[in-house]
A and B are shown apart, each in its own frame.
Chain A
Amino acid sequence: MRSFADVHLGDTIGPVEHTFTTEGVRAFCTLWGQTGESRFTSEEVARREGLPGPIVPGIMSMAVLSRLLTDWADGGSLRLLDVIFRQPVPHHQPLRLVGTVTDLRPEGGQGVVEVDVFLERADGERLVTGKALLAVPLDAG
C-alpha cells in the first residue's frame, strides 16, 4: 500500500506502454453499450467523419489513465480526473501513460496527491493531458 510519506513532489508515475487495439476498443464499446459501427470501431465511419482512422473513445483513454493512477496508489483512491483531449487517440499505435506528482497536502486525515497525467506518443507528443487528485493513507501502518 502506498502511503503519503512515500510520495514526493516531482515523482514520476510510470511510464507505462500501452497500445489500444481495435479488438480492445470493440470490447470496451460493447461493455459501454455502444454496439453499432461507429468512429470508434469502423474505418469507414471514421473516414466519413473526417478522421484518418478509427479512434479511441475519450472515456476509454480516461479509463487507462485511471488504472495507471490507481495501480500506483495501491489502495489509495482516485478523487478526480480532469482531462483535455488535445488530439484523437488512434488504434494500434504504441503510446505511453505517464504521471508527475505536482502537489501534496494532508487533508481530512488522508494525504492528497495532485498529479499531472499524460497519454502521449512514443516521441512525447501529448494526445490527452489532465490533472488528477488521489487520496492515500498518511502512513502505511
Chain B
Amino acid sequence: MFLLDMHCHSVASDDARATVEQYLRWIQVLRGRGYQVDSIVLTEHRRFDGAADYTPLARRYGVVVLKGSEVDTRWGHFLVYGVTDALLRAVDFTDVQMDARRLMEEARRHGAMAIPAHPGRFGIGLVEFLARGAEVPDLEIIEVLNGGSRRGENERAEALLRERHLKGIAGSDAHFVSTIATCLTAFPHPIHSEGELVEALRAGEFRPLRLEETAPTPLRNTTK
C-alpha cells in the first residue's frame, strides 16, 4: 500500500504557513509515531510552479514530493494532477471564474485530471452547484475526505459519492505544518511521478483513509 496526501499547500500559496521542508520533517515525526506516509502532492492555489525542484528534499526525507494545483472555478475548487506546459497554455489557472467542465475536458485532453476539491463545502462546494442545476455528467472522482472540512462537509461529499457511484480520494488540505497527512489516499503500488499518479487515478484502484488508520496505536500524547 502506498499512501499519498493528495492535497496540501506550502508557503507558495497565499494563505499557507508551512514550508515544504517543514512538512517533510513533520512526516518523520509521524513515522516515528508509527504512521505511514509515503508521498505528498503540493496543490498550490491557482498556480503551478513547474520550475520548483524538490528532488533533493524528497531524497533527504524519503518522501515522494509531487506537484499539482488547486484552481477556482465557477463550480468550486478543483484539484489538478498531471499538469503539463500544454495544459497551462490551454487553461489560465489564475482565472477564478473558469468553467469547470472545460477545465475537466482540457485536463483530460492534456493527459491530466481535474477532480472537485471538498465538494461538500458549504457555500462553495460542487454539491451546492449541483443542487442549483449544474451538470457534470463525466464526473468520476471527487475528494471525498478533506482534512480541512467543517462538521457535515465530508458527509455531504460522501453522500454525493454514494448517490453517483463515484470514487473518492483524500487529502489533508494542510496549510500548517502539523496538519499534513491527516487524510491520505491509498494506492496498491508506489507512485513516483505526476504521470504515474494520473495513471493510477485512471485505473481506479484507490481508497481514502485517515492518518489514524495507518498505525495500530492512537497518536502519542507528548504533553509537557
Contact = CB atoms under 8 A, between A and B. Distances in A.
B-side interface mostly: loop
B217 interface: no
B224 A125 contact: no
B179 interface: yes
A116 B176 contact: yes
Interface of A: 6, 8-15, 72, 82, 84, 86-87, 100, 102-103, 114, 116, 123, 125, 129-131
B151 interface: yes
B179 A116 contact: yes
Given A123-B151, A129-B175, A131-B176, 17 more contacts: A8-B222, A9-B26, A9-B29, A10-B26, A12-B221, A12-B224, A13-B224, A14-B223, A87-B150, A100-B178, A102-B26, A102-B176, A102-B177, A116-B176, A116-B177, A116-B178, A129-B179
Contacts of B222: 8, 10-12
Contacts of B17: 82, 131
Given A12-B222, A116-B176, A116-B178, A84 B15 contact: yes
B25 interface: yes
Nearest to A82: B17
Interface string B155-177: 00000000000000000000111
A93 B117 CA distance: 30
B13 interface: no
